[in-house]
């Protein structure tokens, strides 16, 4: 176990390299502190564009630059890879692990921005057949599954098989991510791929968007929801509302409708875009501080984003339950900046800030090229104007100039032309994760259990020592007995 040495300056540990983690760390650039950012990935992920990676528009590098590079010019930061497995509020220590090797990080102030993962509402076994959309792994796996389904359909159709289940795509969850995915798959089928295959007509693909709720995009209100539904239908997406998924397997899913009837859709490609569950670190913090947790695992924090009873610990972004704040990037960014300002202010002896107040800069969701919805204050926008706004805002927030330039180029190719520059997929992207999941400790099992390598090396060394000792004894015996050089008889 590696332990960091005690430092002179105020130590801030930031958990997570997402919107909260990155913006919080950046906001501390001029503070007289040493920051350690620890995150379980080496990149800062721009989640709003994951669906474009999954559907071949952007590469993963464009939306996930290395955090180390992004922060390279900020001298007071050290970036560490590791999954935080423990936070000891009493000892003020964070423990992280990577491939079975632990690191402990003492802190004076802590910002926890570990975000949220996918929720399958207690049916975690659905995940194997219906990947979510939370990480680069998810997006690349989905890319492989989506383009792979068209490939398998081509082969099947050439043999004369029924390929309807391969040309059926079901997206579960009609929030922004579900709407974006359904719209993009419809565009792929009806526009991008229409000339690429010989045995199948991709335009016959069935794209279904399901939700148990009675409307699409509930946070956008009834009017924008209805407009979105109509636009999706024009694109060829079948929108099924009041439809609850009750089971998922390799070849399809079972649905129970509001009127009680059930139906099965045969499909190999299912995408889960319903439900979020806050990072389990919320539970760790709640157990030690007594802070409440809501059903989605979000932790109740004080109005200044600190943990009850622990003014040195701030929790921000998707992990918190405060004043019904939505799980959006701006909540994480603004919260993290607020926490950083408070830490710096305390060190300078400034009075505490007023409670955290979220400034809603608006929400947007894209449906397909030239179609989007946007809400800015009281303004409700649809169509091309909303789509252009969406492009501009996302461009501003993509990290790094280089990534902005290449993203614009790829958008030109995909939205004005028909192409998708990032269709490449590999077998490993589709199957390796399931294979890893079957190992008890995931990748750690592949690189041996912690300490097992050293133990094995010690054993080898011991047996080698024994061999050398025996050899030396034999040499000495041969010399002392005068047997050396004497030809032994019989």
Closer residue to ligand FAD (CB): 157 or 322: 322
User: 462 catalytic, yes or no?
Assistant: no
Using CB under 6 A, which residues numbered 328 to 387 contact ligand FAD?
328-330, 332
Beta-sheet pairing, 33-39 with 10-15: parallel
Distance CA 310, CA 398 (A): 34
Distance CA 103, CA 3 (A): 6
Which of 33, 35, 131, 134: binder of ligand FAD (CB under 6 A)?
134
Q: Which of these segments, 12-20, 209-217, 296-304, 459-467, binds ligand FAD (CB under 6 A)? A: 12-20
Contact call for residues 208 and 168 (beta carbons, < 8 A): yes
Which of 16, 65, 183, 225: binder of ligand FAD (CB under 6 A)?
16
Tokens of 304: 């200044």
Does the protein bind ligand FAD through residue 84 (CB under 6 A)? yes
Using CB under 6 A, which residues numbered 94 to 113 contact ligand FAD?
113
**CA dist 406 → 119, 389, 393, 396, 425 (Å):** 33, 19, 16, 13, 20
CB of 477 to ligand FAD, least distance (A): 60
Does the protein bind ligand FAD through residue 15 (CB under 6 A)? yes
- H/E stretch holding 146 reads helix 136-159
Which of 12, 13, 14, 17: binder of ligand FAD (CB under 6 A)?
17
CB of 289 to ligand FAD, least distance (A): 17
Looking at beta carbons, which residue is closest to ligand FAD?
A: 18
Contact call for residues 55 and 207 (beta carbons, < 8 A): no
Does the protein bind ligand FAD through residue 173 (CB under 6 A)? no
Contact call for residues 35 and 78 (beta carbons, < 8 A): yes
Beta-sheet pairing, 320-321 with 299-300: parallel
Closer residue to ligand FAD (CB): 47 or 202: 47
Residue tagged active-site, from 62, 69, 151, 180: 180
- H/E stretch holding 306 reads strand 306-307
Per DSSP, the residues of 71-137 read TTT-TTEEEEE-EEEEEETTTTEEEEEETTEEEEEE-SEEEE---EEE--TT-GGGGGTS--SSSHH
Distance CA 374, CA 325 (A): 18
Closer residue to ligand FAD (CB): 86 or 214: 86
CB of 79 to ligand FAD, least distance (A): 11
Q: Which of these segments, 212-220, 253-261, 321-329, 379-387, binds ligand FAD (CB under 6 A)? A: 321-329
Closer residue to ligand FAD (CB): 197 or 411: 411
Q: Which of 332, 448, 350 is nearest to 397 (CA)?
A: 332
Which of 83, 154, 312, 445: binder of ligand FAD (CB under 6 A)?
83
In 154-250, beta strands by DSSP E: 168-172, 206-211, 237-241, 243-249
Give the bridge partners for 211, in sequence order: 241
Does the protein bind ligand FAD through residue 21 (CB under 6 A)? yes
Closer residue to ligand FAD (CB): 114 or 153: 114
Tokens of 143: 């890319």
Number of residues that bind ligand FAD (CB under 6 A): 32
Does the protein bind ligand FAD through residue 131 (CB under 6 A)? no
Torsion sign across C-alpha atoms 374, 317, 295, 131:
positive
Distance CA 318, CA 134 (A): 12
Which of 14, 18, 208, 386: binder of ligand FAD (CB under 6 A)?
18
Using CB under 6 A, which residues numbered 264 to 283 contact ligand FAD?
279, 281
Closer residue to ligand FAD (CB): 236 or 317: 317
Tokens of 402: 């280089």
User: Contact letters (x/-) for ligand FAD, 27-66, by CB under 6 A?
Assistant: -----------xxxx-----xx-x----------------
CB of 127 to ligand FAD, least distance (A): 15
Closer residue to ligand FAD (CB): 202 or 368: 368
Closer residue to ligand FAD (CB): 167 or 169: 169
List residues with catalytic annotation.
180
Applying CB under 6 A, the residues found at the interface with ligand FAD are 15-21, 38-41, 47-48, 50, 83-84, 113-115, 133-134, 176-177, 279, 281, 317-318, 327-330, 332
């Amino acid at each position: 176990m590696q332990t960091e040495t005690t430092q002179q300056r105020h130590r801030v540990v930031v958990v997570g390299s997402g919107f909260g983690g990155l913006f919080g760390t950046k906001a501390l650039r001029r503070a007289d502190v040493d920051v350690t950012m620890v995150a379980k990935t080496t990149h800062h992920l721009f989640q709003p564009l994951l669906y474009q990676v999954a559907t071949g528009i952007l590469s993963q590098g464009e939306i996930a630059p290395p955090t180390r590079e992004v922060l390279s010019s900020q001298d007071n930061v050290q970036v560490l890879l590791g999954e935080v497995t423990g936070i000891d509020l009493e000892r003020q220590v964070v423990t992280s692990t990577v491939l079975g090797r632990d690191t402990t990080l003492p802190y004076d102030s802590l910002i926890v921005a570990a975000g949220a993962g996918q929720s399958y509402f207690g049916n975690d076994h659905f995940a194997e057949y219906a990947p979510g959309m939370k990480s680069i792994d998810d997006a690349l796996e989905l890319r492989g599954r989506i383009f792979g389904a068209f490939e398998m359909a081509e082969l099947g159709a050439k043999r004369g098989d029924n390929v309807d289940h391969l040309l059926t795509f079901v997206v579960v969850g009609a929030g922004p991510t579900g709407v974006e995915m359904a719209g993009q798959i419809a565009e792929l089928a009806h526009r991008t791929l229409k000339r690429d295959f010989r045995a199948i007509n991709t335009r016959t693909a069935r794209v279904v968007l399901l939700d148990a709720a009675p409307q699409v995009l509930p946070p956008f209100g009834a009017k924008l929801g209805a407009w979105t539904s109509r636009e999706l239908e024009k694109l060829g997406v079948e929108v099924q509302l009041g439809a609850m998924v009750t089971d998922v397997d390799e070849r399809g899913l079972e649905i129970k409708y509001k009127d009680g009837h059930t139906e099965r859709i045969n499909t190999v490609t299912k995408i889960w875009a319903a439900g979020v569950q806050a990072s389990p670190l919320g539970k760790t913090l709640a157990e030690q501080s007594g802070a409440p947790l809501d059903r989605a695992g979000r932790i109740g924090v004080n109005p200044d984003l600190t943990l009850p009873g622990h003014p040195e610990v701030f929790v921000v972004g998707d992990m918190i339950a405060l004043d019904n704040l939505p799980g959006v990037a701006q909540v994480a960014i603004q919260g993290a900046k607020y926490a950083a300002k408070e830490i710096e202010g305390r060190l300078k002896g400034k009075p505490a800030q007023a409670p955290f107040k979220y400034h809603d800069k608006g929400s947007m969701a894209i449906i397909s090229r030239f179609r989007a919805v946007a809400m800015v204050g009281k303004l409700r926008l649809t169509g091309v104007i909303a789509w252009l706004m969406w492009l501009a805002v996302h461009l501003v927030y993509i990290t790094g100039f280089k990534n902005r330039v290449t993203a614009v180029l790829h958008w030109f190719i995909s939205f004005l032309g028909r192409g998708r520059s990032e269709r490449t997929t590999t077998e490993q992207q589709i199957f390796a994760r399931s294979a890893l999941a079957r190992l008890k400790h995931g990748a750690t099992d592949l690189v041996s259990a912690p300490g097992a390598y050293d133990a094995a090396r010690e054993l080898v060394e011991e047996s080698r020592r024994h061999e050398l000792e025996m050899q030396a004894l034999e040499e000495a015996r041969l010399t002392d007995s005068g047997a050396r050089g004497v030809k032994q008889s019989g």
